[in-house]
């Protein structure tokens, strides 16, 4: 594991690391923000999963999250969104292949060898973080768009592992929208029964833990009607009695200006759960 | 003038406009952040000048300034850093030509026709803003690196025009460092007597107004020793009795992580002057 960026930020350090991932069979980068409190105490970790086309840089340069992480004493970890490198298969278009791992473990070729972002985010990355940084076992998870999908499904499938979960503009029902149908079809094959384990809306009915979901959604989001459809998640939560706070925000779109405007409230939400649960 | 971006942000709007500039003889873009208070009141304006390689996007996507502008009720205006377009001459390298206007009115060819960023920032852009947005005549000015140089020299040369001025990592003495010698030599010619009007340190002795300067500087800035040299500005201010608050920040570098960490304090500084002076 090698540190390749190290920059003072809000009294702490915004770092980027590179490491050889066994799970993904390639070199990966992830970002870590260590707030000033990390000099003298173990802190909980909020994992952030980014959306289509992103890498580990988008969140740390555009969301303005470090200010709030420093205020609340939370470490932020932001991985890349897919395996990387010349040996990794890719596809034309921005919504499949590199930058579009969809937080699944692919079963179909040519994807199955490297595209194992679910396993990477659930297992390998936290193990690396917990072995190398001053962290408690308090974990929260959040993300944007494809990463919001990732955060929701990962929390739903791993009871007890996360104390808090939230999402911005998530793809809540990938099995029912074009982005998800394309990606899940390619990575998992045509049998749609294999898709349900990577679909938050489909997972709600039998979720083994009723961890509350916080979802932030802009009403002027250009993908709201075609790809995001938060009403599908709401209906599933109502049917199952799963707690959901869905905040619809008039005027806001899909961009980082939206995330920046509300990331402070999300970090406060996670910090409260991580502190009380600690 | 055409609005080409319009995004909700911290309860207000982060917009980008395109217009035909008479001064620069090309199409230019500038960013405007309108905080929520702009719906119902005239507000003061803080002009932000960006550094080498930047355009109107860097500050609005990376500094996290909108939060503080919304808190204090200040409009933010961020122009591009040079004339643009296929007809505009350019040079090899990042430190001359496009993205490197240095906030001067060039007198030498091939630059003199388009490279008039001093006049654009002092005259044309504020006139456009004041004709089209709900602003008072309260103006502050700030910037980063080459833009910090621009903010300081523009405030020093226009007494009464700005109520507040600050800079991050400014090139305080361009006549004495490689970036400035290259740019001022190209835009203004070899006669160094013409350079002094674009050199904050040289302007201090005879400044017609003793407007206090606030300068933020990272001690781990990779350009500190070779290009920035804040001690030259400090010596000039001490000799002339010009008020300067130079804040040296251990650990911080030249990046937007540095700007983001302290932009809140700068916006508060400007807001106080703009409010009290209003």
CB neighbour list of residue B233: distance below 8 Å, 6 or more residues apart: B152, B170, B172, B173, B200, B201, B204, B213, B215, B244, B246
| Spatial distance between the Cα atoms of A63 and A54, rounded to a whole number of angstroms | 13
| Spatial distance between the Cα atoms of B204 and B185, rounded to a whole number of angstroms | 21
Q: Going from the N-terminus, what domains does chain A have, and what CATH number goes with each?
A: 2-277 (3.40.50.1820)
Do the chains contact at B257 and A64, CB–CB below 8 Å? no
Q: Which helix (H) or strand (E) holds B79?
A: strand B75-79
Which residue does chain A place closest to B218, by CA atoms? A8
Res A277: pLDDT:
57
**By the 8 A CB rule, do B154 and B103 touch?**
yes
**By the 8 A CB rule, do B183 and B153 touch?**
no
B57 touches chain A (CB under 8 A): no
**By the 8 A CB rule, do A112 and A64 touch?**
no
Res B7: pLDDT:
98
| Spatial distance between the Cα atoms of B237 and B260, rounded to a whole number of angstroms | 27
Chain centroid to CA B59: how far? Answer: 11
What length is written for chain B? 278
Res A210: pLDDT:
97
Q: What is the DSSP string of B120-163?
A: IIIIIHHHHHHHHS-EEEEEEEEEBTHHHHHHHHHHHHSTTT-S
Bridge partners of A218, per DSSP, are A249
Residues of B known to be catalytic: 145, 221, 254
**By the 8 A CB rule, do B129 and B141 touch?**
no
pLDDT digits (tens, 9 = 90+) for B84-135: 999 999 999 999 999 999 999 999 999 999 999 999 999 999 999 999 999 9
Res A275: pLDDT:
84
**By the 8 A CB rule, do B145 and B51 touch?**
yes
> What does DSSP assign to residue B164?
E
| Spatial distance between the Cα atoms of B56 and A261, rounded to a whole number of angstroms | 20
B197 touches chain A (CB under 8 A): no
CB neighbour list of residue B272: distance below 8 Å, 6 or more residues apart: none
Bridge partners of B9, per DSSP, are B12
| B102 Ramachandran zone, left/alpha/beta (phi>0; psi -120 to 50) | left
Res A26: pLDDT:
98
* C-alpha distances out from residue B262 to B146, B232, B243, B267, Å: 18, 23, 20, 9
Query: Is residue B160's pLDDT more than 80?
Result: yes
Instruction: Pick the closest to residue B166 from B217, B209, B96 (CA basis).
Output: B217
Query: Is residue A278's pLDDT more than 70?
Result: no
Total H helices, total E strands in chain B: 9, 9
Res B278: pLDDT:
46
**By the 8 A CB rule, do B228 and B171 touch?**
yes
Query: Is residue B146's pLDDT more than 70?
Result: yes
Query: Is residue B82's pLDDT more than 70?
Result: yes
Res A98: pLDDT:
98
Mean of the pLDDT values across residues A201-212? 97
Instruction: Pick the closest to residue B241 from B197, B211, B200, B216 (CA basis).
Output: B211
Query: Is residue B38's pLDDT more than 60?
Result: yes
Distance from CA of A7 to the nearest CA of B (A): 7
| Spatial distance between the Cα atoms of A164 and B46, rounded to a whole number of angstroms | 39
Instruction: Pick the closest to residue A1 from A170, A146, A124 (CA basis).
Output: A124
Three-state SS at B118: helix
Q: Which helix (H) or strand (E) holds B183?
A: helix B178-188
| Spatial distance between the Cα atoms of A57 and A80, rounded to a whole number of angstroms | 8
**By the 8 A CB rule, do B168 and B262 touch?**
yes
B136 touches chain A (CB under 8 A): no
Find which of B13, B64, B267 to mutate to test the A interface (most A CBs within 10 Å of its CB): B64
B:8-47 residues touching chain A, CB 8 A cutoff: 8-11, 14
> What does DSSP assign to residue B105?
B
* B8 vs A62, A67, A252: nearest CB: A252
Quote the pTM value: 0.96
Question: ipTM of the assembly?
Answer: 0.95
- Mean pLDDT (chain A, rounded): 97
Query: Is residue B141's pLDDT more than 70?
Result: yes
- HEC string for chain A: CEEEEEEEECCEEEEEEEEEECCCCEEEEEEEEECHHHHCCCEEEEEEECCCCCCCHHHHHHCCCHHHHHHHCCEEEEECCCCCCCCCCCCCCCCCECCECCCCECCCCCCCCCCEHHHHHHHHHHHHHHHHCCEEEEEEEEEECHHHHHHHHHHHHCCCCCCEEEEECCCCCHHHCHHHHHHHHHHHCCCHHHCHHHCHHHHCCCCCCCCCEEEEEECCCCCHHHHHCHHHHHHHHHHHCCCEEEEEECCCCCCHHHHHHHHHHHHHHHHHHHHHHC
Do the chains contact at B261 and A218, CB–CB below 8 Å? no
Query: Is residue A71's pLDDT more than 60?
Result: yes
Strand ranges across the sheet with A75-79: A2-9, A12-21, A26-34, A75-79, A43-49, A135-143, A164-168, A213-218, A244-249
Backbone angles phi, psi at A244, to 5 degrees: -140, 130
Mean of the pLDDT values across residues B19-40? 98
Q: What percent of chain A has pLDDT over 90?
A: 99
User: Given CA atoms A177, A178, A179, A180 in this order, what sign does their dihedral have?
Assistant: positive
Q: What is the DSSP string of B229-278?
A: -HHHHHHHHHHHT--EEEEEETT--SSHHHHHHHHHHHHHHHHHHHHHH-
pLDDT digits (tens, 9 = 90+) for B189-227: 999 999 999 999 999 999 999 999 999 999 999 999 999
Three-state SS at B69: helix
Do the chains contact at B261 and A9, CB–CB below 8 Å? yes
Res B277: pLDDT:
57
Chain A CB contacts of B219 below 8 Å: none
| Spatial distance between the Cα atoms of B259 and B252, rounded to a whole number of angstroms | 9
Chain centroid to CA B260: how far? Answer: 16
B71 touches chain A (CB under 8 A): no
Chain B CB contacts of A62 below 8 Å: 61-62
Backbone angles phi, psi at B194, to 5 degrees: -75, -15
């Amino acid at each position: 594991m090698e540190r390749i960026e190290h920059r003072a930020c809000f009294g702490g350090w915004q770092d980027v690391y590179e490491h050889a991932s066994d799970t993904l069979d390639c070199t990966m980068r992830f970002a870590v923000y260590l707030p000033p409190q990390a000099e003298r105490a173990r802190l909980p970790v909020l994992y952030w999963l980014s959306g289509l086309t992103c890498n580990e840089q988008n969140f740390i340069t555009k969301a303005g999250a470090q200010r709030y992480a420093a205020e609340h004493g939370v470490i932020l970890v932001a991985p890349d969104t897919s395996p990387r490198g010349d040996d990794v298969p890719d596809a034309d278009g921005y919504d499949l292949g590199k930058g579009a791992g969809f937080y699944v473990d692919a079963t179909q070729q040519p994807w199955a060898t490297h595209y194992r972002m679910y396993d990477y985010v659930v297992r390998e990355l936290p193990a690396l973080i917990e072995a190398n940084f001053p962290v408690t076992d308090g974990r929260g998870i959040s993300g944007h768009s494809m990463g919001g999908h990732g955060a929701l499904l990962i929390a739903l499938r791993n009871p007890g592992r996360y104390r808090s979960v939230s999402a911005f503009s998530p793809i809540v029902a990938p099995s029912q929208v074009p982005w998800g149908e394309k990606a899940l079809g390619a990575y998992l094959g045509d049998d749609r029964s294999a898709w349900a384990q990577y679909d938050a809306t489909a997972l709600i009915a039998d979720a083994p833990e009723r961890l509350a979901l916080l979802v932030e959604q802009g009403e002027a989001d250009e993908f709201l009607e075609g790809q995001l459809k938060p009403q599908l998640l709401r209906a599933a939560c109502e049917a199952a009695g799963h707690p959901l706070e869905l905040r619809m925000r008039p005027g806001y779109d899909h961009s980082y200006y939206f995330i920046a405007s509300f990331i402070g409230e999300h970090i406060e939400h996670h910090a409260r759960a991580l502190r009380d649960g600690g």
